[in-house]
Structure 1
Amino acid sequence: MGDVVAILCAFGLTGYLEFGRPGMAESLIQAQVILPLFITIALYNGSYSMDTLRYHWRGLFKAQVALLLAMVTVVFVHFLAKTSSDFSRFAFLSGCALALMTVAWLRLQMRSVVGWRCGANVMNELVVDDGGPMVKLPGAIRISAAAMGIRPNLSDPQTLDRLGLVLRNIDRVIVSCPPERRADWAMMLKGANVDGEVLDDEVVRLGAQGARVSNGYGLLMVSAGPLGLRDRALKRLFDVTFAASAIFALSPLLIAVAVAVKLQDGGPVFFTQRRMGRGNRFFNMYKFRSMTQALCDAQGNVSASKDDQRITRVGKFIRSTSIDELPQLFNVLLGDMSLVGPRPHATGSLAGEKLFWEVDQRYWQRHSLKPGLSGLAQVRGFRGATDHEADLVNRLQSDLEYLEGWTITRDIQILFLTLRVLVHDRAF
């Protein structure tokens, strides 16, 4: 209701200020055309969902998007119908601008109202303790099933009535009980007209992300690709376009470095090493060779260090400037790598005295995306030798954070930030 009033007031005010009462009437007609479109889009994009009460800025953004789409639709319809000359463009645009600002201001003011009415938690959550593990949820109401005389007994109407009274005005209830009583509690909650959940430690142990029933079998979803089809296509299109353009633009540099590496000791220009990629599959990663041919470490068992005797004079320069990584642009075109993603590691890499996956089992999760030329860990400075286990843990945390919230905008941002760390003191 607040958004509707804000839009009507904004258009009415701008029309009145320009043409008086006739202008206000005309502007209100425009607002009445926009409103059905705005409400329809807002309902579909979640502008009035529970999440918008929890996260005010998210709700504000969705409402602004819905209003902009409604306005653009009205302008497009006027254009097709050739009726744009029948109303004041200035009044319409002014009304649109003022409506956007008014809706934004009103939604920001609602934060204090929501906090006053709902407190820290916008949902009424109830935790029922029936002898299971302790559950701590900020803002949730907690009761003891034993103290309230509530048992998971479908044969006792009095108990069901007592539970119904407890759950009145509750949005979500969570029951913590022993395994043998979970099925009984589940049956009781199904008829309680409330979002009900039963605590199960297996969900945490398996890292389950969802559940479903198929052909009578109960299945827990424990893994899912981090990107949908549309996002994968967008990321791939960006990778191919950028990599091909970069290879063309940097071709003089690539040729010059190849010649310098060849003249250094007559060995091969490229160093190929087997790395772990998406889906835990191996691929051959290309780099300009920076070490003497006889001492190249194809398995990556020994990390390069400062003043490493294996590194040639040309190699020292191209490593310190990250030029040695440029051939991986061809890996991007081949589809083995992406521009941005977790950096691929050699299978023999050590963090301290342990293999990478021995330090933290979550290490394998980073392979759900293609490895990248650069990543969130690299722009944060977590690169170079892994002399200690903490060196890997810092990188892993950044890689997992990247997987959780991918956007094309974030990839572009990481690429720009990479330009600042191309030359670094940890490139040995």
Structure 2
Amino acid sequence: MPIGTGSVEYERMGVMEPERRSSEKRRRRPKSFQAGPPKGMPERRKQPRPPLAEIRRAASLTLLPNAVLVGATRIVEFLIVAGIGFAIYLVHVSREPGLHIVYLAAVAAAALVYCGLVQSFGLYTIRAFREFTSSYSRIMLAWTLVLAAFMAVAFFAKVGADFSRVWLGGWYVSVLSLLLVERLSLLILMRRWLREGRLYRRAVIIGGGEQAEELIRSLEASPNTDIRIAGIFDDRGNDRISPLVAGYPKLGKVKDLVEFARKSRVDLLIISLPMAAEKRVLEILKTLWVLPVDIRLSAQNNALRFRPHTYSYIGNVPFIDIADKPIADWDFVQKRIFDALIAGFGLVVLAPVMLAIAALVKLTSRGPVFFKQTRQGFNNELIDVYKFRSMYTDMSDAEASKLVTKDDPRVTPIGRFLRKTSLDELPQLFNVLKGDLSLVGPRPHALKAKAKDRLYADVVDGYFARHRVKPGVTGWAQIHGWRGETDTEDKIRRRVEHDLYYIENWSVVLDLYILLMTPVALLKTENAY
């Protein structure tokens, strides 16, 4: 399958989408670049490009990581095999005297062996999910082998006569039937997600010229790549490099890529520069490390060769890993489940407290109970964060152009207590359930928040790197005392340092530790006004 282009970018540039293989729109290049895939690599079959509307949707839809899809499928099939065996046991066998523990052990063992066998057959891959006929025939073989092995073990252990034939036959047929439905449903979903572009990483290449062109052709010739290239970014002008590289457009300079990645989904940055250009690579990384994406350095034309395990691969093309998107794949799933469970439990437990606070806010000053403030969230997206109102309505400052100070006349009496104890933040549990915030992460700052008289981004170099993960209700900086007023530039620098430490060292255990330490940290109120 050819690597698709970002047609929406061509539209924005005011030009028609070029044909990738049109020799009229390519610069003349050496024969080695025109010879197709390298020797020994299979020729990739051309397929029709998706229509423009579908590519446009793919730029905004969420990527579905292959590792998560494969893992989820493995879990579902384990539950199918074990669940059906256990259900038939409850209905038909559980009231009869016999080997009940052995039944349950057999169900669990069969499910584990089945998943292991299917894994060895190569059926837990995106490609296998798309090839229903061959995949399901091997699934039937795997399940048949598992039941045959089970019967052989029971026979040689001289307990075969103790097992219900109805249970065994019903288990065999029911599992095959449900696996048929599951794999057909997965096939339908895969086709839909492929059309939408959810299963492909959207990549951009940094650096044009012949080196980028050769890289693109190698990626196109490689089997089973999971990327779609949106375009090229290069600081050189059109007088030095062609505005089209292997049919892909130059979309701007490197400095333009940060804004591009925040407005259009980008999952992977590929730097197509020689390793010898160390200074230039470092300059690029200094600009781009604030983005929540994977960054890879092409090693295809590198004269210095390392051991194979040094590289990561996209298809057959080697890369050196420069940076990984933080909290990705299963880590993201774990964190989201953790957030949803704890936030939902917290809302139930704290509901009486929140109702009491709402009544006090309403009774002690005129205006709404809640205060909504626009802040910067993941990848600099604007989100609405909710708090209990702590200031007089006619004195509120939604953009926080002037931070609250000690004995600030804008704060209500009840608001002063709420801010010191951080109880005004409790409505942000709704933001967590909505998915705008995480329970733990860098605190979201107001758009015009300042340290002294300077915006935070002007004080801290690389400030926006803290937005590579979702912001949180509490965080590593807060439990270390870096909360409240930022009347000096050093305070915001230290806060950002702690935020970056959290991003690089995240784990569920760390999140749990921060949550447990937050009530202790709230006892220190000297900087909270």
TM-score, length basis structure 1? 0.52
CA shift, 1:320, in A, is 1.2
Give the corresponding residue for 2:483.
Answer: 383
1:384 counterpart SS class = coil
Structure 2 residue 347 is the aligned partner of structure 1 residue 247: yes
Q: What does residue range 17-416 of structure 1 map to in structure 2 within 5 Å?
A: 200-207=278-285, 210-212=296-298, 224-416=324-516
Contact 1:384 1:426 in 2 (8 A): yes
- d(CA) in 2 for partners of 1:314, 1:360: 34
Q: 1:257 to 1:319 in 2, by over 3 A?
A: same
Question: In structure 2, the residue corresponding to 1:297 is in which secondary structure?
Answer: coil
CA contact (8 A) 2:366 2:392 kept: no
Q: Is the 8 A contact 1:343 1:372 kept in 2?
A: yes
Decide whether aligned partners of structure 1 residues 339 and 82 sit closer, same or farther in structure 2, where only a CA change above 3 A counts.
Answer: farther
RMSD: 3.0
- The amino acid of 2:512's aligned partner reads I
CA distance, structure 2, for counterparts of residue 397 and residue 245 of structure 1: 31
Contact 1:206 1:222 in 2 (8 A): no
CA separation of 1:81 and 1:414: change in aligned 2, threshold 3 A: farther
Structure 1 gap segments, 5+ residues each: 1-79, 84-196
Q: Is the 8 A contact 1:341 1:369 kept in 2?
A: yes
Which whole-Å CA distance do the structure 2 matches of 1:237 and 1:224 have between them?
22
The answer to whether the 8 Å contact 2:296/2:323 transfers is no
Distance 1:361 1:81, change over 3 A: farther
2:462 is paired with a residue of what secondary structure? helix
Cα distance in 2 between the residues matched to 1:225 and 1:350? 28
Contact 2:452 2:486 in 1 (8 A): yes
Structure 1 244/359 Cα, relative in aligned 2: closer, same or farther at 3 Å? same
Q: Work out whether residues 401 and 449 of structure 2, in 8 Å CA contact, stay in contact via their aligned partners in 1.
A: yes
Quick check: 221-230 or 334-343, which moved more? 221-230
Residue 206 of structure 1 and its aligned partner are, at CA, apart by: 2.3
Distance in 2, matches of 1:410 and 1:268, equals 36
Does structure 2 retain, via aligned residues, the 8 Å contact 1:272–1:284? yes
Bigger helix fraction: 1
TM-score by length of 2: 0.42
Q: Is there any run of 5+ residues in structure 2 with no aligned partner, and where?
A: 1-152, 157-274, 290-294, 301-313
Distance in 1, Cα, partners of 2:526 & 2:429: 23
| Separation of aligned partners in 2, 1:295 and 1:422 | 26
Describe the shift of the 1:412–1:357 C-alpha distance in structure 2 as closer, same or farther (beyond 3 A): same
- The count of residues paired between Structure 1 and Structure 2 equals 239
* Amino-acid identity (%): 40
Deviation at 1:198, TM superposition (A): 5.1
Deviation at 1:318, TM superposition (A): 1.0
Return the index of the structure with the highest Cα Rg: 1
Q: For the residues of structure 2 that align with 1:356 and 1:215, how far apart are their CA atoms?
A: 42
Letter in 2 for 1:425: E
Q: Which has the higher contact order (CA 8 A, sep 6+)?
A: 2
Amino acid at match of 2:283: R
1:216 deviates by 12
- Going from structure 1 to structure 2, the CA distance change for 1:235 and 1:390 (only over 3 Å counts) comes to same
Name the counterpart of 2:239.
none
Q: Secondary structure of 2:398's match?
A: coil
Distance between the aligned counterparts of 2:418 and 2:480, measured in 1? 21
Distance 1:202 1:219, change over 3 A: farther
* 2:505 is the counterpart of 1:425: no
Superimposed CA distance per residue, residues 91-118 of structure 1 (whole angstroms, 9 cap, x where no aligned partner): xxxxxxxxxxxxxxxxxxxxxxxxxxxx
Letter in 1 for 2:297: A
The CA deviation string for residues 245-304 of structure 1, in whole angstroms up to 9 with x for no partner, is: 000000000000001000011310001100000011001000000111110100111111
**Deviations, residues 391-425 of structure 1 (Å, cap 9, x unaligned):** 11000101111111111110001111111012322
